[in-house]
Amino acid sequence: METINERIKEIIQVLYHGNASEFSRKANIKQPTLNTIIGGRQSKPSYEVINAIALNVKDVDLEWLLTGKGEMLKSNYMVQSQIANTIGGHNVNISSMPETGSQKIINEEGILVTRESWPSERTQLLSKISELTAEAERLKLENILLKNSLNDKDSLIRSKDEFIQYIKQSVNSKSK
């Protein structure tokens, strides 16, 4: 994807099946604002728009959104681990789901048993880790945007300095 506008369109296509209105609601972005970004006008999204995506569309990798590098979806999103195990002499598969703190056990007869397996403290710690990860992503985004803004301002200052030098040279050459 060449532009951030195209990457936002891809998010809408892949995660929301092309439904821009649903994306707008879920990302908490006003529909007219979204239309100027993905429509014919192709306006660049503001910090507020990017921040709304970062906060509300949590499975999108922010580095990919901003730069196009890497994969669209975070690699650790909705991770499930499969563990082969034996219980009471029977082979079973255990699928741990960290976000819910439960286990699904399927025995040889194909019977699915779900049970709570983690104490609430562990679930709370996972929730806190998730919150801190989201905050780190938000800060990463803010850092990238601030660096870009700083680079733009440095460029503007260089341009103004060059213009001032040009004016000084012009005045000096006329006064001689």
What stretches of the chain show up as alpha helix (H) in DSSP? 4-16, 20-27, 31-38, 47-56, 62-67, 120-175
pLDDT tens for each residue of 110-125:
666 555 544 566 667 7
Of 123 and 24, which is predicted with more confidence?
A: 24
Report the DSSP beta bridge partners of residue 104: 95, 114
pLDDT tens for each residue of 33-47:
999 999 888 889 998
Cα separation, 103 vs 97, in Å, equals 6
Cα separation, 64 vs 33, in Å, equals 21
**Residue 19 Cα to chain centre, angstroms:** 19
H or E segment to which residue 104 belongs = strand 102-106
The structure tokens 């970062």 sit at 54
In this prediction, what percent of the chain has a pLDDT beyond 70?
Answer: 71
In this prediction, what percent of the chain has a pLDDT beyond 90?
Answer: 28
pLDDT tens for each residue of 147-165:
988 998 999 999 999 999 9
**Cα diameter, the chain:** 102
